[in-house]
Amino acid sequence: METVTFATQNVWTWWFAIYLFLGGMGAASISLAIATDRFLKPHKTLVLWGVVGGVMMLNLGSMILFIHLLHHTAVLVLFTPFAIINQPGAWIAWGTQFIMWVQIAGLLYAMSYLRESTFWLNFPLAGTVIKSTAFARIADFGARFRGLFAWLAMLAGFGTAAYTGLLLQSFPAVTLWHNPAVPVLFTVSAFSTALAYLMLVMLVFIRNREDHALQVLFERTDVLLLALELFIIYTLFNFTLSGSESGYRSATLLWESPMWVVGFLGLGLLLPFLVELRSLLKGWSGSAPMVIACILILNGGYILRHMFMYSGVYAFPW
């Protein structure tokens, strides 16, 4: 009975990391874009980038998960709210609802903006749909209850971001996952990557000088989120390095991985943190450093989830 086998899992691998990454970032992008439009500065272009981009990310991530299901038609039961009444402890049931509602509310919020966008009106096929009467009616409905849909999208977006961590936390056998730091870490990371995505869009595609104050606010927020992420990582290691062999082995796996140490901690967190800090204190002459910092944050966001999936250690008593 003393024999113990330590093993990592091969059930949810890189594809699940992509789902967690795109799900968290996509939902947080919708939340942040709508929150910006409602409370900071009316910004239709940013809403369209946030919502359309977010919906694409969420669908791509969900599609990857769907492909890997064993029994595809059985998933239909999750699309009704009864799924969470039936299984209130199952985070996938909650997550499906969050993902569904953040997209519905986000699109209803943004549909009237789509009708004003020359780019989307001229877009093949999509333009035809946008110009249709049915689309106009739904868009008008969305515009009439814009406040309601804004709150629904923001809350469901936050729920989706938090769900990605809460899901991992619900697996008791793995110390790296089953602790309170994980949902907080994944939520903070989701919003940090979403900010990086929105900043990247503003710097590369929108490029409007009037957005400078908004860009600075995003940078300030992201600096705080990155600092918070570093602190959570520290507490997580403080926790896993003692207390259980499973946790210790997970921590060792992470620390011995150049992908984690260099790719995530160094290039995905610390370097962007310093670049953004310098941007806030002294500024940069061009946008290139901030563009690179945003790309590194996005890269780091994926690596965090990838490494988490591969470093969860089970301790089997045989």
**Residue count, binding to other proteins (CB under 8 A):** 33
| Least distance CB 188 / other proteins (angstroms) | 23
74 sits near other proteins (criterion: CB under 8 A): yes
Instruction: Measure the CA–CA gap between 293 and 28, rounded to whole angstroms.
Output: 19
| Least distance CB 164 / other proteins (angstroms) | 13
Residue list 96-125, contact with other proteins (CB under 8 A) = 96
173 sits near other proteins (criterion: CB under 8 A): yes
Options 77, 148, 204, 241; binder of other proteins; rule CB under 8 A: 77
160 sits near other proteins (criterion: CB under 8 A): no
The Cα diameter of the chain in Å comes to 70
Nearer to other proteins, 90 or 104 (CB): 90
Which of these segments, 27-35, 167-175, 221-229, 287-295, binds other proteins (CB under 8 A)?
Answer: 167-175
242 sits near other proteins (criterion: CB under 8 A): no
87 sits near other proteins (criterion: CB under 8 A): yes
Nearer to other proteins, 167 or 304 (CB): 167
Residue list 32-71, contact with other proteins (CB under 8 A) = 65, 69-71
Q: For the purposes of burial, counting CB atoms within 10 Å of the CB of 92, is it exposed (0-12), middle (13-18) or buried (19 or more)?
A: middle
Burial 111-128 (b: 16+ CB within 10 A, else e): bbbbbebeebeeeeeebe
167 sits near other proteins (criterion: CB under 8 A): yes
Planar angle of CA 26, 281, 289, nearest 5 degrees: 50
Planar angle of CA 197, 199, 129, nearest 5 degrees: 60
Q: Which residues pair with 243 in a beta bridge?
A: none
Burial 41-79 (b: 16+ CB within 10 A, else e): eebebbbbbbbbbbbebbeebbebbeeeeeeeeeeeebe
| List of residues contacting other proteins (CB under 8 A) | 1, 3, 9, 11-12, 65, 69-72, 74-75, 77-78, 83, 86-87, 89-93, 96, 167, 170-173, 314-318
